Structure 1
Amino acid sequence: MASRMQTNTLDWIESHADRWAIGLSGLCMVHCLTSAVLLALLSTAGGLLLNPLFHEIGLTIAIGLGILALGRGIVQHGYMMPASVGALGLGIMAGAMNLPHDGSSGETVWTLVGVGLLALGHDLNRRAVN
């Protein structure tokens, strides 16, 4: 009985992983835009939101959800395109983390491009599964 419950729970998590990942991508976009606006308006509040640890944890969560959801999609439907688009987005996000936070490097723009591609990959994956 317990293993059946565990299986149902894992199935539920796997079936909803793309939606969670798309939601996380949306939150990341909101965070990036909010950080940029707050940085322009209030440098002290912007500094708190631009803490590198915050970004490292967020990217780690995004990579974990990407592996789970996009990997599951490859196994279920056999299409590599959603995972490839998502991986490109993750790579751009990781690259943007290495840019200076000075506002002139385009870090926010590159992060938003990466997040958008990652969300697109998850959406393609979700559509292919359904």
Structure 2
Amino acid sequence: MTTLAHTPAVRWIEQRFDTMAIGLSGLCMVHCIASSVFIALASTAGGLLLNPLFHEIGLTIAIGFGVFALGRGIFTHGYMMPAVVGSAGLGTMAGAISLPHDGSGMETVWTLIGVATLALGHDLNRRAAN
């Protein structure tokens, strides 16, 4: 009996999950930088991009990718380091959400540090699987 986990389509997706997560991290970085620049140029439109719900949904998606891809990596290659690094990035991102949106830019700085750390964890995971 063949299970869903062993079908070629599922294996193809699993093998590319870290790559997709790195891409999501890149989109997050673009969003953070673009939001900061956009806010500096047009503060009236900034409310949409800086809406806390937007960030909470993004973090939820990042956590989902992280749990699946980094957790799968532990079972695939047996290395904990990618999951530890990725978890540190997710924790940093979660902490950044709690910082005030007061224009100081600290939320953006800590979010970018978290996103880069998370992307590093996914890259380590992808390399360990190969």
With normalisation by structure 1, the TM-score equals: 0.93
Q: Distance in 2 between matches of 1:129 and 1:6?
A: 17
- Structure 2: state its 5+ residue gaps: none
Kept after mapping to 2: 8 A contact 1:97/1:107: yes
How far apart are 1:8 and its partner, in Å? 2.3
Moved over 6 A (4+): none
1:28·1:115 contact (CA, 8 Å) conserved in 2? Answer: yes
The 1-side partners of 2:5 and 2:74 are apart by 25
One-letter amino acid matched to 1:16: R
- Report what 1:70 is aligned to: 70
Residue 60 of structure 2 is matched in structure 1 by: 60
Q: Is the 2:4–2:10 contact (alpha carbons within 8 Å) kept by the matching residues of 1?
A: no
- Alignment-derived partner of residue 11 in structure 1: 11
Is the CA contact 2:5–2:11 (under 8 Å) kept in the aligned structure 1? no
Bigger mean CA offset, 41-50 vs 92-101: 41-50
Q: Aligned partners of 1:45 and 1:6: how far apart in 2?
A: 47
Report if aligned partners of 1:99, 1:105 keep a CA contact under 8 Å in 2. Answer: no
Q: Deviations over 1:72-97 (max 9, x none)?
A: 11001111000000000000000000
Whole-angstrom distance in 2 between the partners of 1:35 and 1:102: 14
Any unmatched runs of 5+ in structure 1? none
Name the Cα RMSD after superposition.
1.8
Contact 2:96 2:111 in 1 (8 A): yes
- Mapped to 2, the partners of 1:129 and 1:50 lie a distance apart of 36
Larger deviation, residues 49-58 vs 117-126: 49-58
State the shift of 1:47 in Å.
1.4
- Counterparts of 1:51 and 1:33, CA distance in 2: 15
- TM-score, normalised via structure 2 length: 0.93
2:17 is aligned with what amino acid?
Answer: A
Matches for 1:1-130 after TM superposition, within 5 Å: 7-104=7-104, 106-130=106-130
Identity %: 72
- Secondary structure of the residue aligned to 1:18 is helix
Task: Give how far 1:105 is off.
Answer: 5.7
